[in-house]
Structure 1
Amino acid sequence: MSNKHQYISFLFLFLLIAPLSAQKTRKQLEADRKRLKKEIKKVNKLLFDTQKKEKNALEDLKDINQKIEVRQKLITTINLEAKSLTGEISGNEKKLKKLEEKLEALKKDYAAMIYKSYKSRSKQNRTMFILSSKNFYQAYKRVKYMNQYATFRKKQGEEVVIQSTIVQQLNDSLQFQKQLKDSLLANEEDEKLKIETDKKSQEKLISQIKKRENKYKRELRNKQKEEKKIADRIDKLIRDAIAKANAKKGVKISKGFALTPEAKALAVRFEQNKGKLPWPVDSGLITRRFGRQPHPVYKGNYINSTGIHITTEKGTNAESIFNGEVLAIQVQSEGKKSVLIRHGNYISVYNNLENVYVSAGDQVKTGQALGKIFTDRITGKTKLIFVLSKNTTRLNPASWILRR
C-alpha cells in the first residue's frame, strides 16, 4: 500500500474514532441542556430587556447573533440527548423482553411445583412416604428432602415476586424515558421555530447595516482605535511597572517581573487555580471572546479582543479573581477607569469601571469589590472588559475562570 493510501486510511479511521471518544453521557447532555437554557435566559435579560436610549443595528445584530448561536447549541444538545435516549429505550426494551421470558419460565416452574405439591398434599401421603422407608437413614433423608423441597418452593415463589417487581419497574422506566424523549423532541421543534424568527430579525438588521455601511464602518474603526489605545496604555503601564520593580532589585531582566519568594509562591498558587478562578462579576454573560475574530457583517474586517467582554446587570461591581496587589489605577476616555491587580507575575485588568474602591499599592483578597462597572446610557448595557496576562503576554481569561 502506498504512503498516500496509508495516510488516507489513517485519516478516515481517526475521523471515525474521534467523535466516539468525545461522546457525552446522557446526564452530561442533560446538564448541558439546562446550562444552555439558563444562558438563553441571561441573553434575553442582559441583551434584550435593557432600556436602550437609541437603536444601533450593528450592536443589535451582535446580540441577535449571540442568541442564535446559543439556541443552535441548545438544539444540537437536545438532538444528541434524544438520540441517547433512543439508545437507552432500545437497550431497556431488550432487557425487558429477556426479563419477561425469564419471569414466564419461573411462573411455569412454580406452577408445576405447586401442582406437584397439591397432588401430594395430604398428611397421609407424606406419612406413608416416610414410613415406607427401608431403614431409619432413608426415612431421615426423605424428611430432609421434603423440607428442602418446601424451602425451594418458597424461594421460587419469592423469586417470581422479585422478577415481577423488576419487570414493572423497568416498564415504568421505559414509559418515563419515552415521555422524556417526546418532550425533548417537542422542545427541539419549539427552539427551531424561535431560531427561524431570530434569523428573520438577523436578515433585517444586515439589510439596515448595508444601507448605512459607511456610517457603521466609521463607527467600527473609531471603536477599534479607542480599544487599541486603551490596550497600548495598559501594555506600557505593565512594561514600566516591570522595569521599575526590577530596577529596584538591581535586576536587568525586562521581559518579566523578577519575583521574590513570596511573589513566586503567589504566582504558583494562581497557576494551580487555572480553570477554577472565580468570575470577576457575580453573574454575567461573555459577549465577546478573546483574540482575533471575523466581523459578523463586513468580510475582511476583524475584531481583535485583548480580553473578554462580560455583560452583567446594572450596578454590579467588578471583583478581584485572586489575592494580589493593586498595581495601578488608570483613567481612560470619558472618565472610565481600569484597575490592574498583580498576582506574582500575573496581572488581571478590570476595564470600563465607573468608579473604583481601591488605590495603587492596596492588598486585595479574592472576591473583593474593586469598583462599579460602567453602564452605557445609549445601549443600556453594563459591560466589564476583563484582561489577563502573564508579564506582558496576554492570556485567554475564559481558560482561567470557572465555566458557567
Structure 2
Amino acid sequence: MILLFSLCTFALNAQSKKQQELEARRQSILSEIRQINNLIASKKQEEKTIISTVEDLNYKVNVRKNLIKVTNDQANLLTREINTNQKQISTLRDQLKYLKEDYAAMVVKSYKSKSEQSRVMFLLSSENFKQAYKRLQYIRQYTDYQKEQGEEITRKTEQLQQLNTTLLQQKKDKDKLLEENRVAKQKLEDDVKEHEKLVASVRKNMTAYASQVKSKQQEADRIDREIEKLIREAIAASNKKAGKSETTSKGFALTPEARALEASFEANKGKLPWPVRTGVIKVRYGKQRSSIDNTIEINSSGIRIATDKNAKARAVFNGEVLAVQGTKTGNPWVLIQHGNYITVYKNLSKVYVVKGDKVTTNQDIGEVFTDQTTGESMLWFSVYRDSKFQDPSIWIVR
C-alpha cells in the first residue's frame, strides 16, 4: 500500500508540473490571439486589401487550432490526474480502514486490562526483576503505540479530505476547459468560414496575386543578397586591418572584448528580448507555402513580426551598428554586430542610430514602417552568422 501510494504521489507531482507548463502555454496562446485581434482592430480604419485580411485570418485560424490542441492536452492530463487521485483516495481508504480496525482491537484489549490493579498484578507476577522491567517497558510502548495509531488515523483522515477537495476542483477545472474548448471551436469555425469566403474571392484574380507575391519575394531576395555582400565586405575589411588573410577568414577579426560579447550573445540563445515590445510572428523563417495558394512558395530569411502602428524597433542585445542602409524603392534597415553574429532589422520608416554607434539591449534603434494601404506595421528580423541566415525564433524568448 505504501509503495502504491508513493508511486501515485510521484505520478501526480509529475502531472501537476506538466499541467502548469500547459497552462502557461495556453495563456501565451490566448495572449497571442488578443494581440492579433488588437492589430486587426487597429487596421479597420485603413483601407485594407483582401490579401492582407486573408493572411490575418489564416494566422488566427492556425493560432486557434493550436489553442484547441493545448486545451485538449490539458483536459486529457486532468483526466489522468483525476484517475491518479481516485487511486490515491482508494488506497488511503484501505489504509484508513486497516488502521481503524487495528486501533479498535487495541482499544478493546486496552479496555479489558485498563485497571491499575491489573497492571500492578501483571508486574508483580513477574518471575524476576528483569522480567518486570521488560513488562513495564511493554506497557509504555503499548500506550505510545495507541497514541501513534490515533494520530495516524487523524492524519490519514485529513489527507483523504484534502484529496477529495482537490479531486472536486480538478473536475471543475476540466469542465471549464471543455467549455472553453467548445467556444474556441465555434470561433474557429466562424474564422474558417470567413477565411474560405475571402480566399474564394482572391482566387478569382490569382494571377495578379501570384505576381505580387513573386515581386515581393524578388525584392526580399535582392535585399538579402545586398546584406550578405555588405557583411562579407565588412569581414574582409576587419581581417585586412588585422593583417589576416581576407580569403580564408570566414568571420570577423575580433578583439577579446568582441569575443566575450559573442560568447554572451550565444549564452542568451532563446532568452533574447523581442525586437519590438508587442507583436505576433506572421511569417516564420524558411520555406513555406502561401496561406492563399499552396502552389506558391515563400522563402523568408528571418521572421516577420506584425506590431502596432508607430512601434519602435529595438536592439535585442548589446552590440555595435555595423551598417544603416536603404534604397530608393525600399525602406531602410539596420545591421548590429555582436561578435560574429549580426542581427538585422528591416522595413523601418525612421532610424535613430548611425554606423559605429554602440547600442544596448532594448535600446530603440528606429521606427517600424506602416503600410498606408493595408495599415500593417511589419518588422522583418533576421540573425546572420557564418555566411548564412539562422532561424531568429530560436534566439528570442518564446
Contact 1:52 1:379 (8 Å CA) reproduced = no
Match of 2:112 in 1: 119
**Post-superposition offset of 1:249:** 4.0
Residues 325, 142 of structure 1: alpha-carbon distance in 2 compared, 3 angstrom cutoff: closer
Match of 1:3 in 2: none
Q: After the TM superposition, which of the residue ranges 119-128 and 312-321 deviates more from structure 2?
A: 119-128
Q: After the TM superposition, which of the residue ranges 121-130 and 59-68 deviates more from structure 2?
A: 121-130
Residues 304, 140 of structure 1: alpha-carbon distance in 2 compared, 3 angstrom cutoff: closer
**Post-superposition offset of 1:52:** 4.3
Contact 2:238 2:253 (8 Å CA) reproduced = no
Contact 1:230 1:332 (8 Å CA) reproduced = no
Match of 1:46 in 2: 39
**Post-superposition offset of 1:157:** 1.0
Match of 1:187 in 2: 180
Match of 2:322 in 1: 327
Q: Tell me how far apart the structure 2 counterparts of residues 146 and 226 of structure 1 sit (CA, whole Å).
A: 94
Contact 2:275 2:313 (8 Å CA) reproduced = yes
Match of 1:386 in 2: 381
Residues 241, 128 of structure 1: alpha-carbon distance in 2 compared, 3 angstrom cutoff: closer
Match of 1:314 in 2: 309
Contact 1:342 1:348 (8 Å CA) reproduced = yes
Contact 2:47 2:375 (8 Å CA) reproduced = no
- The amino acid of 1:156's aligned partner reads Q
CA deviation map 1:15-56 (0-9, x unaligned): xxxxxxxxx933322222222122111221223443342132
Question: Given the two structures, how large is their TM-score scaled by the length of structure 1?
Answer: 0.86
Match of 1:294 in 2: 289
Matches within 5 A, 1:4-23: none
Contact 2:319 2:360 (8 Å CA) reproduced = yes
Match of 1:204 in 2: 197
Residues 366, 377 of structure 1: alpha-carbon distance in 2 compared, 3 angstrom cutoff: same
Corresponding residue SS for 2:43: coil
> Which ranges of structure 2 fall in alignment gaps of 5 or more residues?
1-16
Among 120, 138, 149, which residue is 1:145 paired with?
A: 138
Match of 1:259 in 2: 253
Residues 210, 120 of structure 1: alpha-carbon distance in 2 compared, 3 angstrom cutoff: same
Among 211, 219, 225, which residue is 1:226 paired with?
A: 219
Q: Tell me how far apart the structure 2 counterparts of residues 122 and 271 of structure 1 sit (CA, whole Å).
A: 79
Contact 1:96 1:170 (8 Å CA) reproduced = yes
**Post-superposition offset of 1:78:** 1.4
**2:283 is equivalent to residue 283 of structure 1:** no
**Post-superposition offset of 1:135:** 5.0
Contact 1:320 1:364 (8 Å CA) reproduced = yes
- The amino acid of 2:341's aligned partner reads Y
- The amino acid of 2:214's aligned partner reads R
Corresponding residue SS for 1:281: coil
Q: Tell me how far apart the structure 1 counterparts of residues 343 and 48 of structure 2 sit (CA, whole Å).
A: 33
Match of 1:268 in 2: 263
**Post-superposition offset of 1:251:** 4.0
Q: After the TM superposition, which of the residue ranges 351-360 and 107-116 deviates more from structure 2?
A: 107-116
Corresponding residue SS for 1:292: strand
Matches within 5 A, 1:7-86: 25-86=18-79
Corresponding residue SS for 2:320: strand
**How many residues align structurally?**
380
**2:328 is equivalent to residue 343 of structure 1:** no
**Post-superposition offset of 1:64:** 1.0
Corresponding residue SS for 1:328: strand
Q: Tell me how far apart the structure 2 counterparts of residues 164 and 357 of structure 1 sit (CA, whole Å).
A: 67
**Post-superposition offset of 1:261:** 2.7
**2:368 is equivalent to residue 373 of structure 1:** yes
Corresponding residue SS for 2:266: helix
Q: Tell me how far apart the structure 1 counterparts of residues 237 and 106 of structure 2 sit (CA, whole Å).
A: 95
Corresponding residue SS for 2:87: helix
Contact 1:92 1:170 (8 Å CA) reproduced = yes
Corresponding residue SS for 2:347: strand
**Post-superposition offset of 1:286:** 1.0
Q: Tell me how far apart the structure 1 counterparts of residues 387 and 194 of structure 2 sit (CA, whole Å).
A: 41
**Post-superposition offset of 1:333:** 4.4
Q: Tell me how far apart the structure 1 counterparts of residues 236 and 45 of structure 2 sit (CA, whole Å).
A: 44
Contact 1:335 1:354 (8 Å CA) reproduced = no
**Post-superposition offset of 1:273:** 2.6
CA deviation map 1:100-128 (0-9, x unaligned): 01101111221222223333333444444
Residues 155, 248 of structure 1: alpha-carbon distance in 2 compared, 3 angstrom cutoff: closer
Contact 2:242 2:253 (8 Å CA) reproduced = no
Q: Tell me how far apart the structure 1 counterparts of residues 135 and 262 of structure 2 sit (CA, whole Å).
A: 82
**Post-superposition offset of 1:373:** 1.4
Q: Tell me how far apart the structure 2 counterparts of residues 395 and 137 of structure 1 sit (CA, whole Å).
A: 84
Q: RMSD between aligned alpha carbons? A: 2.3
> Which ranges of structure 1 fall in alignment gaps of 5 or more residues?
1-23
Question: Given the two structures, how large is their TM-score scaled by the length of structure 2?
Answer: 0.87
Corresponding residue SS for 1:192: helix
Contact 2:57 2:191 (8 Å CA) reproduced = yes
Residues 135, 236 of structure 1: alpha-carbon distance in 2 compared, 3 angstrom cutoff: closer
Q: Tell me how far apart the structure 1 counterparts of residues 72 and 165 of structure 2 sit (CA, whole Å).
A: 23
